[in-house]
Amino acid sequence: MSADRPLHIVAPIYTYAPSVGGAQRLVASILEPLVARGHRATVITFNAANLPDLRRRGGAGLPASDVVNGVSIARVMPEGGMAGRVLEAWATHRMGGRLVKRLSGVDVPYWGSWPQALGMLRPLLAEPADVLLSVGWFARHVPLVHLVARWRGCPVVGLPLMHLSQPSAHWPRQRWLARTATRVVAMTEPEAVHLRGLGARQVDVIGGGVDSSWGRDASGAAWRAQLGIDPGTPVVGFVGRQVANKGATVLIDAMRRVWEVRPDALLLLAGRSRNRDAATTARLEALTPLERARVILVDDFADADTAELLAACTVIALPSVDESFGLVYLEAWMAKRPVIGADIPSSRSLIHAGHDGLLVGPHDVEGLAAALLRFMHDPGLAAAFGERGYRKVLEHFTLEAQRARWIALIEAVATPVG
């Protein structure tokens, strides 16, 4: 351990285990190696297993404290207790709401609804920290993290996870957050450029990563055989939150075009059933019985099954317009499958279009359908793209390399010079 003593890293984040998602997996991949190295790590989070729990009194009913893979978890209720009720009343009052909007640059309902940001204040003050990890700068609680850090004189490592195509990347408060962070970590170079423009003092680029042996024993053929899917049947895979901004609705619309040409093609939607939004549900319900029979829903699957699901697909389509990185792209490449993403800054920086994947315009149904058919009509092309993606992950995006960089960064920030 290069630090003189064991450190305590505190990471407030909207949701954590058992909640799943790219941000949750990323934070776990940062904290768990630090714990293995002899440091302490505490996550402060809302009592939620999925997004709907954040709007429910009492949340998910999970234990107030827990330990997962050595990381301590402190959970607070989404309603925020007395402090939350005060903020809700103030933010929804006509005069108080105007002041809140002037200070934050965000509309009043953002502050006046659940989960309440002030619910995290008590555990933030109660947990002594050598480093505060400021995660997800679209979240309500993040300014509290920076305020507490300044009051304590504690270093802050920012992990904004900015979605550059969304308004939240340009909120007025982001400039203050960037300037008050000791160091900021961007997932991609376009995000780093944006953060430097906001005035961040020091920006590191550390993308996501996957274990170099991830999916090595996965058998897509075995998974297809289990479901009775012929080896030659095209399968389009989508793994993640089935919501409009993540591209689930545009993918369903594109598949209706694909089925006009390739009626044998199947659509596989894999994710958490509680994270399927109303718009996606409505698209599925609008399908004809014949079309609906071509859709396979794999709900609430185990993480260990992800590799086999991806390996069973012909192509992985994730046309998300709300992305800070895109970890599933890496996993798809580890399964040697080509990917299709929306042409937004984060995906553009990760996918080499025409080499290991394809990019289509945001919400472009016809463009997405054409890209899907291109891979279906040319299996050799799909195999070549998948192989190139696989080599790229091993060269640039292994979890081992990313963990080493995070450990060095956290220990450097927390260790006094001299």
Residue 290 pLDDT greater than 70, yes or no: yes
Per cent of the chain over pLDDT 70 is: 90
CA distance 186 to 91: 31
Of 198, 223, 176, 168, nearest to 335 by C-alpha is 223
Q: Which residue has the tokens 């009720």?
A: 85
Q: pLDDT by residue (tens digit) across 114-149?
A: 788 888 889 999 999 999 999 999 988 898 899 999
Q: pLDDT by residue (tens digit) across 185-208?
A: 999 999 999 999 999 999 999 999
The reported pLDDT for the residue numbered 226 is: 87
What's the Cα-to-Cα distance from 4 to each of 25, 38, 414, rounded to whole Å? 28, 11, 10
More confident of the two residues 104 and 36:
36
The model's pTM is 0.86
Q: pLDDT by residue (tens digit) across 69-80?
A: 999 999 999 987
The rounded radius of gyration (Å) of the Cα atoms in the chain is: 22
Under 8 Å between Cβ of 215 and 236: no
DSSP 89-152: HHHHSHHHHHHHHHHHSS-HHHHHSSSPGGGGHHHHHHS--SEEEEE-TTSTTHHHHHHHHHHH
Q: Please report which confidence band the pLDDT of residue 246 belongs to, taking 50, 70 and 90 as the band edges.
A: very high
Residue 188 DSSP one-character state: S
| CA torsion angle 185 189 194 198 (round to 10) | 40
Residue 252 pLDDT greater than 70, yes or no: yes
Would you give the distance in Å from CA 41 to the centre of its chain?
Answer: 20
Per cent of the chain over pLDDT 90 is: 74
Dihedral sign, Cα of residue 107, residue 108, residue 111, residue 114: negative
